[in-house]
Structure 1
Amino acid sequence: MSYDAVLLASFGGPEGQDDVIPFLKNVTRGKGIPEERLEEVAVHYRHHGGVSPINQQNRDLKAALEAELEKRGIDLPVYWGNRNWDPYFTDALRELHADGKRDVLAIVTSAYTSYSGVKQYHEDFERALDETGLRDEVRISRIREFFDHPGFVAPFVEGVRAALDELKDAENTHVMFVTHSIPTAAATESGPEYGEGGAYEAQHLAVAEAIMAGAESDAPHSLVYQSRSGNPATPWLEPDINDAIADLSDVDGLVIVPIGFVSDHMEVLWDLDNEAMESARENGMRAVRVPTPGIHPAYVTGLVDLLLERINSVPDSERPHMTPLGPWPDHEPQGAALDSAVTQTP
């Protein structure tokens, strides 16, 4: 396959107090979220000056990817676009098109299979191609979901080992893997063959097992959820992390592993570092929260490896994966059916 640019595609976040409510309205558009709920969530951002850390983290990741590509002699420029805030996907497409780029390989900062992590990004790309009028001129492909790629798993293994060592004096330690809750129906839709939790839950469970094996630990562990929103009457994946912490008995050491997230954005800082840590203290536990991959060298290297496996059409049998579920399949390109002669393979 031939590509001439990389698109770092992410969620986006506000960068000042005046951005907070407009950003939250972008995120919740069409979901029927009441204004009072938006105000509740806005408090989390306002506590940090109205600035989400996610944008700076994406700037840092973009720079790290550029450095790794240059180190390997791969001549692919990296562009950055967001779903919910500046720079939007439309901005990124216009920029790369003006630079003469036509065949784009996207890194979506979501490691798992779900509507918001896969289909919604596809819809976003389709909308951006239409809004920019570039559907017949630009093609967007994306790397596969990388939930069990070694580059994504390794930072968590390292973090769990360090956390367990920090809690080595605890008599009973529990490892709690946490990810974003989603509606149960949406989870099932992500892969009905995997049961009610779908591929979304199955992937997280498999990654948790891989991390515990890599950390060489037999500590008890569980998968829990955070950041539920929406209609209270709608079933969502459970248990919530705070409820799960309260239900633990005879545990004095808690390792919190945010395997559903690639960086320490607002939901990690607030829901885990604030609320979950408070729950642990209230229940007499010492808790350590493991870092997300961020710009960990293994993660950055792994993302470039994922780019190269798509560029070089590496067969499934040679694609690295650390669970029986992988490697997850590639996605079809969106946009123009370009002749490969118009681009150059790095």
Structure 2
Amino acid sequence: MSAGAYDAILLASFGGPEGQDDVIPFLRNVTRGKGIPDERLEEVAHHYRANGGVSPINQQNRDLKAALEAELEARGIDLPVVWGNRNWAPYFDEAFRELHEAGHRRVIALITSAYTSYSGVGQYREDFDRTLDETGLRDELEISRIREFFDHPGFIGPFATNLRAALDRAPEGTHVMFVTHSIPTAAAAASGPEHGEGGAYVAQHLAGAEAILREAGATDAPWSLVYQSRSGAPHIPWLEPDINDAIDELAGAVPGVIIVPFGFISDHMEVMWDLDTEAVETATGHGLHVERIPTPGVDPVFVSGLVDLVLERVNEIPHAERPHLTDLGPWPDHEPQGSVRSEAAQSA
């Protein structure tokens, strides 16, 4: 593919409900194929219900789309941004048709997941393949996603800046808790067995945590990697420890905890409920100083970094020259999905 061949950006995300009537249909989408009855879904819908049935993730993606468009315009880059979701409107089929109808053929997908896992990589590839087939656009669109950006300076930088500020406010000896979404241990291992027992998923998080500490000038701070949002059958092992269990273990041994939600790019529902509500309540119940630092969201450093990641593909930057802050990176590119027929084939 020649430089400059891309003509649009797909902002691809998870999606979320935008009202009480959306909650159960949204959860059906998330759990499709698992046969979970609505009664059980209602039991896990309480954090959405408590927020009026609205997940903040859709507005956060609207804000990110606008920030990306502003950054692209400021740099003089003519790449329109179209937004699509896996589990709620606007769905990928809408986004793919919008891209095609506007005349776009080679698209860079910007996935709102920084790490390697089935949910962050495999499911998006499956959804893209299915959507290309269902829309009949497999020979009309080519989708190439940016690499996983867990150690890109644009992602690490905002966490490091906010961690440094939080440590300056915290009592000496405060423990830093790097938290991400738990996944089944088998899924973690499958994400890259060559990286050890926890696969690429755990290795990337450990390396990213060390990079954040280094960039924050806090390599001497006590820290640990913990997990949140475990779901699924109790007999299936998931990555541990859960953040609440880890806080219980630390109580009495440290004066406080700083929660770094570096598994996520924005303050969506799982951050607000599992961390701001449950984990903070656990910490304050033990009398601990507690602060949860922000996710990157639309931090200018993060937005600029995402555009840099897009331009890596547009300008075909050699792998060795791509910025990264860990020994694991830069993570390799993914193969394109779909294809664009030649002009001769299309006119035949």
TM-score clears 0.5: yes
- The code of the aligned residue for 2:204 comes to Q
Structure 1 residue ranges without an equivalent (≥5): none
Q: Classify 1:318/1:232 alpha carbon distance in 2 versus 1 (closer, same or farther; 3 Å).
A: same
Q: Does 1:123 pair with 2:126?
A: yes
- The code of the aligned residue for 1:324 comes to D
Determine helix, strand or coil for the equivalent of 2:45.
helix
| Alignment correspondent of 2:183 | 182
| Alignment correspondent of 1:21 | 24
CA shift digits 1:65-99 (9 cap, x unpaired): 00011111111100000000000000001111111
Determine helix, strand or coil for the equivalent of 1:254.
strand
CA shift digits 1:247-287 (9 cap, x unpaired): 01421121000010000000000000000000101122110
| Alignment correspondent of 2:82 | 79
Task: Please give the alpha-carbon distance, in whole angstroms, between the structure 1 residues aligned to 2:201 and 2:27.
Answer: 24
Alignment of 1:274-293 (within 5 A): 274-293=277-296
- The code of the aligned residue for 1:336 comes to S
CA shift digits 1:262-313 (9 cap, x unpaired): 0000000000000000010112211000100000000000000000011111
Residue of 249, 267, 271 corresponding to 1:247: 249
Residue 225 of structure 1 contacts residue 237 of structure 1 at CA under 8 Å; is this kept in 2? Answer: yes
Task: Please give the alpha-carbon distance, in whole angstroms, between the structure 2 residues aligned to 1:305 and 1:161.
Answer: 25
CA shift digits 1:115-142 (9 cap, x unpaired): 0000110000011111111111111111
- The code of the aligned residue for 2:73 comes to E
Q: Classify 1:92/1:341 alpha carbon distance in 2 versus 1 (closer, same or farther; 3 Å).
A: farther
Residue 108 of structure 1 contacts residue 142 of structure 1 at CA under 8 Å; is this kept in 2? Answer: yes
Determine helix, strand or coil for the equivalent of 1:178.
strand
Q: Does 1:96 pair with 2:99?
A: yes
Task: Please give the alpha-carbon distance, in whole angstroms, between the structure 2 residues aligned to 1:163 and 1:304.
Answer: 28
- The code of the aligned residue for 2:176 comes to V
| Alignment correspondent of 2:162 | 159
Task: Please give the alpha-carbon distance, in whole angstroms, between the structure 2 residues aligned to 1:246 and 1:34.
Answer: 33
Residue of 136, 139, 147 corresponding to 1:136: 139
| Alignment correspondent of 2:301 | 298
Task: Please give the alpha-carbon distance, in whole angstroms, between the structure 2 residues aligned to 1:184 and 1:322.
Answer: 26
- The code of the aligned residue for 2:118 comes to Y
Taking structure 2 as the reference length, the TM-score comes to 0.95
Residue 139 of structure 1 contacts residue 338 of structure 1 at CA under 8 Å; is this kept in 2? Answer: no
Taking structure 1 as the reference length, the TM-score comes to 0.96
Pairwise CA distance, 1:340 = 9.8
Task: Please give the alpha-carbon distance, in whole angstroms, between the structure 2 residues aligned to 1:194 and 1:37.
Answer: 36
| Alignment correspondent of 1:316 | 319
Residue 20 of structure 2 contacts residue 53 of structure 2 at CA under 8 Å; is this kept in 1? Answer: yes
Q: Does 1:46 pair with 2:18?
A: no
Pairwise CA distance, 1:316 = 1.1
Q: Which range moved further: 333-342 or 274-283?
A: 333-342
Residue of 260, 268, 282 corresponding to 1:265: 268
Instruction: Tell me the percent identity.
Output: 73
Residue 48 of structure 2 contacts residue 269 of structure 2 at CA under 8 Å; is this kept in 1? Answer: yes
Pairwise CA distance, 1:159 = 1.0
Task: Please give the alpha-carbon distance, in whole angstroms, between the structure 2 residues aligned to 1:129 and 1:161.
Answer: 44
Q: Does 1:3 pair with 2:6?
A: yes
Pairwise CA distance, 1:36 = 4.3
Determine helix, strand or coil for the equivalent of 1:287.
strand
Task: Please give the alpha-carbon distance, in whole angstroms, between the structure 1 residues aligned to 2:98 and 2:73.
Answer: 21
- The code of the aligned residue for 2:208 comes to V
Structure 2 residue ranges without an equivalent (≥5): none
| Alignment correspondent of 2:211 | 210
| Alignment correspondent of 1:194 | 195
Residue 105 of structure 2 contacts residue 340 of structure 2 at CA under 8 Å; is this kept in 1? Answer: no
Task: Please give the alpha-carbon distance, in whole angstroms, between the structure 1 residues aligned to 2:37 and 2:202.
Answer: 28
Determine helix, strand or coil for the equivalent of 1:148.
coil
Task: Please give the alpha-carbon distance, in whole angstroms, between the structure 2 residues aligned to 1:119 and 1:184.
Answer: 16
Task: Please give the alpha-carbon distance, in whole angstroms, between the structure 2 residues aligned to 1:322 and 1:93.
Answer: 33
Number of aligned pairs? 340
Determine helix, strand or coil for the equivalent of 1:326.
coil
Task: Please give the alpha-carbon distance, in whole angstroms, between the structure 1 residues aligned to 2:264 and 2:104.
Answer: 30
